[in-house]
Amino acid sequence: MIILGIESSCDETSIALLNNNKVIKNIVASQIMHEEYGGVVPEFASREHMKNIQKIVDRTFEGIDIKLQDIDGIAVTYGPGLMGALLVGLSYAKGLAYTLNKPLIGVNHIEGHIMANFLDHENLTFPFICLLVSGGHTQIVYVKDFGKYEILGRSIDDAAGEAFDKAARIINLGYPGGPLIDKMARNGNVKFHSFPRAKIKNRPDDFSFSGLKTSILYLSKQKGNNWIQENLKDVCASYQEAIIDVLQKRVFTIAKRRGVKKIVLAGGVAANSRLRYVFTEISKKNNSDIFFPSLEYCTDNAAMIARTGLELLKRNKISSLNISAVPNLRLIN
Amino acid sequence: MDKKIILGIDTSTDNCSVGLVKNDILLAEKSEVAKTIHSEKLILFIDDILKEAKLKFDQIDAIAVNIGPGSYTGLRIGLSTAKGLAFSGNLPILPIPSLTVLSRSLDENSQEPKLLFINSHSNKVFYTYQKFDEKVDINCDIQFEDIEIIASKYPEISTFYGNYNFNLEKVNVKELMPFGKNVALIAYENYNDLINNFNEYLEPNYLTNFKAKKWDRSGK
């Protein structure tokens, strides 16, 4: 089956073509203009999607034998995300599905991140425990089967990605914070400063990252910007370590308790090199299998949306043409 | 000119409106005024009017769309849908300015100068001013201003026409909505002009530059 994937939920416009498990094309246009605003400006994001979507669709069909009429379904992100941004991809998908008379498949973006793992790992099987970490989400999910999810732990405030972005703003590193801190931290000392590892009373499986952000703010006020800049590598490394430390402790504690030996990482923060390293090392030690997507499929992309759409189409879970965008869509409703 | 079947789409305001014309004859139309229904209903409305006119989508020659200015999100729903619809049949998308479309909703016999507006946000409107004997054509001049300031600028005008019922001291405001059928009719009348300027990568005419606060790197 051939699936066209469309993703426009935040600041990436992406179109992909998938032939069963094989990615034929995955084109991602990242919007760089948000950098100078220190975060995604929703109206700009929507305008960029509108400007780019047809160009990227055209590029998708360039130089390949697959024709528009060969598509078996159109998979599109309908949430969560920015309303105006989602609507560009969704409206386009509806128009296309209507004229081609092909099924429209609304895809949950979060589920897409989990399913991204199947693009790289054909040997991956259910069930597994998934750490879903991105700019908007931090959840530990027990994935029993496709579409069967149980949330075992979650952030009660900031997502891990937000903790990176906000810290990068505080120490004047730039935006987006995750990749910048990751890069800066590579030669830094993870034990340089002891950032807090927050525990929540009576909720041992959940996370809190808002205190972490406050602590780096205090540190920067107390020691001054010059001190931060002089020790930037070490500040980044020890801050990053605090986030990863909390994530790995929760995940492996839960996995042990549930007797699950298969751990999967998903979402934009799963691109973090230290996170991948730490999870790989711990998995080796306790004989767990660890999976994470290639970098290309960690960040927002349409291939993962198409991959999820494929599973939905196989189960005949198609959407009607009056489907709405749902900005606050959850993994489990 | 050959007979042209044109689908008109207008989602520039709260009126989600579509119309189908064959040359200058209206075949079918459907509209509903409500907030945030456009994304859900637009395609269904298009399907409804095609069925009513007993036409298949591939019999359509062009898609005309209200290109703005107007509701940013509304304009994008209309244009994204139009692009999705146009792609497989390689149909041209013909852009019609919102105030030209709106002017068609006026009573044709009116002998007054016209001040037409589409509300942007709060008191700000996109507007055009035309003398009584002038037609609001597809090249009409559109400005962005506060409605109170416009009222003081044109004391000779007693009535403004637009999509929001402002309560103004010296001016009457009559509610007027743009319609998809008029988008299609105007596209037919200007078909040759529009088709010569056809651009696959058309964007909405937002008119205003959206401004956001830049990040102050001084550490605040």
* Residue A101: burial class (beta carbons within 10 Å; 0-12, 13-18, 19+): exposed
Which residue in B4, B1, B33, B29 sits closest to B16, CA to CA?
A: B33
CB-nearest partner of A55 from B58, B73, B201: B201
Q: How far apart are CA A51 and CA B202, in angstroms?
A: 8
Q: Would an 8 Å CB–CB cutoff place B210 in contact with chain A?
A: yes
Average pLDDT over residues A119-144: 96
* A101 has a pLDDT exceeding 70: yes
pLDDT of residue B220: 43
CA distance A120 to A118: 5
Q: How far is CA A60 from CA A53, A57, A66, in A?
A: 11, 5, 10
| pLDDT score for A37 | 85
Contacts of A84 in chain B (CB under 8 A): 72-73, 76
- Of B43, B58, B88, nearest to A321 by CB-CB distance is B43
Which residue stretches of chain B have pLDDT < 50?
219-220
Q: Is CATH 3.40.50.300 correct for B5-98+177-206?
A: no
Residue showing tokens 């997502």: A159
**Model pLDDT, residue B138:** 93
Specify the pLDDT at position B219. Answer: 47
**CATH class of segment(s) B100-175:** alpha beta
Using CB atoms and an 8 Å cut-off, which of residues 69-98 of chain B contact chain A?
72-73, 76-89
Question: Of all residues in chain B, what percent are helix, strand and coil, respectively (each to 5)?
Answer: 30, 30, 40
ipTM of the predicted structure? 0.96
Q: What is the Cα–Cα distance from A274 to B206, expressed in whole angstroms?
A: 43
Spell out which residues of chain A touch residue B73, defining contact as CB-CB under 8 Å: 46, 83-84, 87
Chain A residues within 8 A (CB-CB) of chain B?
36-39, 41, 43-44, 46-47, 50-51, 53-55, 57-58, 68-69, 83-84, 87-100, 169, 172, 175, 220, 225, 321-325
What predicted TM-score, i.e. pTM, was given to this entire model? Answer: 0.96
Cβ contact, residue pair B80, A322, below 8 Å: no
Q: Specify the DSSP element, H or E, that contains A233.
A: helix A232-258
Q: Show residues of chain A in contact with B217, CB under 8 Å.
A: 172
pLDDT of residue B22: 97
Q: Which domains does chain A have, with CATH numbers?
A: 2-115+301-314 (3.30.420.40), 125-294 (3.30.420.40)
**Beta carbons of A4 and A75 less than 8 angstroms apart:** yes
Phi, psi for A141 (deg, rounded to 5): -120, 130
> Residue B210 phi/psi, 5° resolution?
-75, 130
CA gap A231, A247 in Å, rounded:
25
pLDDT one-digit tens code per residue, A140-155: 999 999 999 999 999 9
The answer to whether residue A183 scores a pLDDT higher than 90 is: yes
What residues does each domain of chain B span?
5-98+177-206, 100-175
Cα B13 from Cα B105, distance rounded (Å): 14
Distance CA A302, CA A282 (A): 31
Suggest the residue from B87, B120, B202, B218 to mutate for an interface test with chain A (most A CBs closer than 10 A): B87
Paired tokens of A207:
């996370």
For A39, which residue in chain B has the nearest alpha carbon?
B215
Cβ contact A90–B201 (<8 Å): no
Mutate which of B88, B208, B211 to test chain A, going by most A C-beta atoms within 10 A? B88
A-B interface: how many C-beta pairs under 8 angstroms?
A: 117
* Matching fold, domains B5-98+177-206 and B100-175: yes
Do B39 and A325 count as a contact with CB atoms less than 8 A apart?
yes
Distance CA B31, CA B179 (A): 8
Among A199, A198, A197, A160, smallest CA distance to A182 is for: A160
Residues contacting residue A124 through CB under 8 Å, at least 6 positions apart: A117, A118, A264, A291
Residues 6+ apart with CB under 8 A from A73: A1, A3, A4, A102, A103, A104, A105, A309, A310, A313, A318
* Structure tokens that stand for A195 in this block: 């950032």
Q: Pick the residue from chain B with its C-alpha nearest to A226.
A: B219
Give the number of other CB atoms < 10 A from CB of residue A215: 18
B219 inside 8 A of chain A by CB:
yes
Instruction: Give the pair of three-digit tokens for residue A106.
Output: 């609304």
Token duo for residue A289: 């299998």
Among A50, A77, A82, the residue to mutate for chain B (most B Cβ within 10 A)? A50
